[in-house]
Amino acid sequence: MGDYLSQIAELFSQYDIVGAFWVNIQLTFWAAILSLVLGTVLALMRISPIVSLQWAGAAYVNVLRNTPLTIIMTFMVLGIWTQLQISLAQDFATNFFRFAVVGLTIYHAAFVCEAIRSGVNTVPLGQAEAARAIGLPFLPAARLIILPQAFRGAIAPLGNTLIALLKNSTVAVAASVSTETATLMREMIENNSSVIFGIFFIFAIGFVILVIPIGLLTTSLSTRLAVRR
């Protein structure tokens, strides 16, 4: 048992495990910000009084939510970079990192949109009607009245989406990001198959440590900031 634990301890000196998790955290951070922006725009389209915008928003959500993330990531590299020869950076590592962020953003924006739309349903209907009664156009009414309350009501589903985004950041391996956890775990297993269970628990516990605080924080904020009827 002691020999097994010593082999596990040696892994931390041989491999940059913390650095791999840091890459996933960075992927999650940038994709979370961008998907929140895009998801908010999509949510506005879905609740817009303009039918064509409603259809466009619904089409985006339905297509992207039902498309595997791995396919989107692969398309980023093989379709956008290889075929169309579009680069997001001169450096290969930075280029693939940014493609992974774009892929994660495009995919998770659909879930952010639905989370925000669920928050809109918590806003009393009378408030939107009152905004129209005093002559507020759709966008000012959404910006000043609907969205602030919708975000408060959407904290819990947005937290779940953030957790899913963090775990899905491992799919960045399909976009040729070679420094994140999934790639490193595969390399460690290939070179240290005798401690495969220890390697698995290292990465499993690492994600548990990252995910649990997000869940606790969003649950607390959801309770404190819930829209009171």
Query: CA dihedral defined by 84, 90, 94, 96, rounded to 10 degrees?
Result: 20
pLDDT tens per residue, range 97-132? 888 999 999 999 999 999 999 888 877 777 777 777
Split at pLDDT 50, 70, 90, the class of 191 is confident
Split at pLDDT 50, 70, 90, the class of 141 is confident
Task: For the chain, report the end-to-end CA distance as a whole number of angstroms.
Answer: 58
pLDDT tens per residue, range 43-73? 999 988 889 999 999 999 999 999 999 999 8
Q: Pick the range with the lowest mean pLDDT from 18-27, 107-116, 190-199.
A: 190-199
Per-residue CA distances from 12 to 20, 77, 226 (Å)? 12, 31, 43
What is the pTM for the complete model shown? 0.88
CATH code that applies to domain 2-225:
1.10.3720.10
Q: Tell me the average pLDDT across 136-146.
A: 81
pLDDT greater than 70 at residue 228: no
Q: Give the chain's mean pLDDT.
A: 86
Q: Tell me the average pLDDT across 73-85.
A: 83
Split at pLDDT 50, 70, 90, the class of 227 is low
SS3 letters across the chain? CHHHHHHHHHHHHHCCHHHHHHHHHHHHHHHHHHHHHHHHHHHHHHHCCCHHHHHHHHHHHHHHHCCCHHHHHHHHHHHHHHHCCCCCCCCHHHHHHHHHHHHHHHHHHHHHHHHHHHHHCCCCHHHHHHHHHCCCCHHHHHHHHHHHHHHHHCHHHHHHHHHHHHHHHHHHHHHCCCCCHHHHHHHHHHHCHHHHHHHHHHHHHHHHHHHHHHHHHHHHHHHHHCCCC
Percent of the chain with pLDDT over 90: 38
Q: Tell me the average pLDDT across 198-213.
A: 90
